[in-house]
Every structure is written in structure tokens, then in C-alpha cells.
Structure 1
Amino acid sequence: MASRATMDKRRGRRHGSPVSRDVVLRAAKSQFARQGYEKTTLRAIADEAHVDPSMVLYLFGSKAELFRESMKLVLDPQVFTDQLTTDDGDLGFRIVRAYLGIWEQPDTAASMVSMLQSATSNSDAHEAFREFLQSYVMAAVTDALGGADEARLRAMLAATSLVGTAMLRYVMRVPPLSTLTVDEVVTLVGPSVQRYLSAPASEIGLPPSSAH
């Protein structure tokens, strides 16, 4: 009969080592960035995290939930909410620069590309990404803007500029947007984000119901 130590080794986990959610999340982030959602398996994540695959399911329930949770290691809403404390006319520019900064970092760029590609090609990843944006990123930004329906719509409109820019520049790599410098993109996109976040509701054309 195999010893306990041998059995633990086969399971890929050192005897006595607690299973860390953070370790599993980091492994998931790495796998999703390299393989995309569809090709990533729970077993591959478990192997990289040195845990039993059943423990991954126990901790997160499904691959979609693990995908959603791992996104929190990549896209922190604090990056945006920190910029919302002061509206000095440069708000849109600061938001765009902070967002592009995430895409420009080698350790997060691959994850960001994988997130968008997976969300547009797989229904489970799409739902996970949508829930992540609504309950994590948009919720935080909306609260920072005041928490009303109008704030939620403003945050969503700003997101259309940010996500669209990222899709064309970093995922599809369509020139000339993909060849511009970060400063040039900030200069071009910043005013639109600024307008969505801070211009009078009537100027943007927000529906009256969004103000309640």
C-alpha cells in the first residue's frame, strides 16, 4: 500500500500544506492568459497550483466562477475609483491613462487580451465577464460617482470608449489606433470619457429616468 507521503505527492500537493485560494487564482490567471478560456482545464490549473483538481472545484464551484474571480487579479476597480476623487477637468484623461496602463504592462496585458477574446467567443466566459464587470468594476465606479442610476449609466458609457479602444488597439491591433503612442490615445479618447462622466445630463442626452 502506498504511503501517505506518496499519495500526497501523486495528488500534486505537499503533505500538510494548506490549499490557498490565492495560489489557485494565480494559477488560473496564468492558464487563462496562455490558453484562453476554452482550452484551459481545471486539471491544468490544479497542476500549476499543485493541488488536487477536486479541491479547485470545492473552492470555486466551476471554471466560469474561477475565471470571474481570477479577473480580480487583473482589473482592479481601485485603478479607476482613485481617479474619481477629484474632477479637475482632467478626469477623463486620467481614467484613460490608468486603463491603458493596465494593457501596457506585460504581466497583465496577456490576461486582458484573453479576457476580452474569451468573453466574445464563449458563452460561459461571456456571462462570467459580464457579471464581473457589473458586480465588481461598474459597481465600484458607480458608487464613486454617487451610486444613482445616472451614475451607473455614465460609468457604462465611459466603459464603451475604454473597452472599444482596447479591443481595436490591443486585441484586433487595427492601425492607426494600434500604432499611436499612449499619450496620443489619451489625448484622443480622454475628452469622450470626461464628457460621459461629468458633462450635464442634458448635454449628453441621458434619459430623465436615469437621474432617479
Structure 2
Amino acid sequence: MAPPAKTTGRRGRRQGEPVSRDVVLAAAKARFARDGYEKTTLRAIADDAHVDASMVLYLFGSKERLFRESLRLIIDPEVLAAAVSGSGGDEPDVGTRMVRAYLGVWEAPETASTMRAMLASATSNPDALAAFRGFMQNYVLTAVSAEIGGDAQARLRAMLAASSLVGTAMLRYLMAVPPLSELPTDDVVRLVAPTVTRYLTADADELGLPAL
């Protein structure tokens, strides 16, 4: 009698084993950071997460949405919202809290290189830009504006504050333009914080905010 046929082990999850969104997101975050948006494929992410590519598509719908969701692993909107509300041991100035929290994401060893790679993708690929825009609008601005009233003017205030934060990060970390790129972090916080504070807290008439 012929010996039983040998079977080749297949990498991946056993049939019926649940697929974790968190595992796929972690794989996507690492792949986007390593290869950039354009070169990253859903199949590559699926291979890294040990799942079928169809499952990645089922869970997230598109590469653009997966990129947007991956950003939440790096910039937690709730951390920025907490910086707005503050707590007993925090800096008394809201701008100082916001700038320090945001720059901390860019300077932390576990997120610095990923932030650079993902923002670089957002400035060079239209789909990545759309994903970044959606992340800012649907997560960051929603979370921050909720802490300062939640209305249309609060959302505009949050956007103005974000313009200072993102612009600072672009020049300091992505483009590395001196002297901003060479300043100590505490100096950057001290210089940028008053503008962020003004956008978030100044009287609407003083800012010239339109009626929305």
C-alpha cells in the first residue's frame, strides 16, 4: 500500500480562528512605515498579518481606509483631546500641553520614523493625502473640537491650531529646515504654544472668526 501523501504546512491562521483587526492594523502600520503608501499592497499586509488578502479588504474596505486607521496607532486623537482638557498635574496653558503632546509623537522612538514615513506618503500620493485628510477631519478635529464646545466655530479653532502643529512638524521633522529643526524641543514649545492657545481660547471677535 502506498504511503500517505505528505502535506505541506501552510503559514497562517487555522480555519475558523478569528482575525484580529488589531493584528492587521499593526502589520499595516509597519508596512506603510517601511515601504510608503504607494509601494504597500494589501497582499503584503495580509502576508505580514498571516491572513488572506480578501480578509483585509473585508475588514477595512480599501488601502486608503487602512492607512487612515493605521494613523490612529501613531496619533491617538484622545491624547490630543486630553491635552486640551488638561488635568491637575498638567501645564496650565492649553497651547503648551497641545504642542508638547504633538511633538512628543514626532520625537518618541517608537513613533518618530513612522510619522515621517506616513506624512511623507501623504504629501506625495493623492490617496494617502485623502486618507490623512479623512483622519484629521473625522478623528483629530472631532475629538479636539468636542473639548471646546463641539460647534462649527470650535471645529475651525481646532483646524487653525492643527495648521500650526502640522506646519511646525513639516518644517522641523520632515523637511528639517533650520533653524526650526535645530532648536531644542522646549524652545519650539515655548514659541508655538501662544499661537495654539490663541486659536483655541481667544474671543471669536478678536480672532475674526466668521459666523458658521
Per the alignment, in what secondary structure is the counterpart of residue 100 of structure 1?
Answer: helix
The alpha carbon displacement at 1:115 in A equals 2.2
The alpha carbon displacement at 1:24 in A equals 0.5
The 1:114–1:97 alpha-carbon spacing in structure 2 relative to 1, beyond 3 Å, is same
The alpha carbon displacement at 1:139 in A equals 0.6
Per the alignment, in what secondary structure is the counterpart of residue 131 of structure 2?
Answer: helix
Q: Distance in 2 between matches of 1:65 and 1:51?
A: 18
The 1:6–1:94 alpha-carbon spacing in structure 2 relative to 1, beyond 3 Å, is same
Give the match for residue 158 of structure 2: 155
The 1:2–1:14 alpha-carbon spacing in structure 2 relative to 1, beyond 3 Å, is farther
Q: Say whether 1:18 aligns with 2:18.
A: yes
Give the match for residue 78 of structure 1: 78
The alpha carbon displacement at 1:128 in A equals 1.0
Q: Say whether 1:118 aligns with 2:125.
A: no
The alpha carbon displacement at 1:89 in A equals 5.3
Q: Kindly tell me the number of residue pairs found equivalent between the two proteins.
A: 205
TM-score calculated relative to the size of structure 2: 0.90
Aligned residue runs from structure 1 range 37-56, under 5 A: 37-56=37-56
Q: Distance in 2 between matches of 1:135 and 1:159?
A: 13
Gaps of 5+ in 1: none
Give the match for residue 146 of structure 1: 149
> Conserved in 2, the CA contact under 8 Å of 1:89 and 1:194?
no
More off after superposition, 114-123 vs 12-21: 12-21
Q: Distance in 2 between matches of 1:200 and 1:42?
A: 47
Instruction: Supply the RMSD in Å over aligned alpha carbons.
Output: 1.9
The alpha carbon displacement at 1:83 in A equals 1.9
Give aligned-pair identity as a percent: 63
Letter in 2 for 1:174: V
Give the match for residue 109 of structure 2: 106
- Which aligned segments of 4 or more residues in structure 1 are displaced greater than 4 angstroms? 86-89
> Conserved in 2, the CA contact under 8 Å of 1:168 and 1:177?
yes
Letter in 2 for 1:41: T
Per the alignment, in what secondary structure is the counterpart of residue 106 of structure 1?
Answer: coil
> Conserved in 1, the CA contact under 8 Å of 2:86 and 2:97?
no
> Conserved in 1, the CA contact under 8 Å of 2:84 and 2:97?
no
Among 177, 180, 192, the alignment partner of 1:189 is: 192
Q: Distance in 2 between matches of 1:201 and 1:25?
A: 40
TM-score calculated relative to the size of structure 1: 0.90
Q: Distance in 1 between matches of 2:129 and 2:152?
A: 24
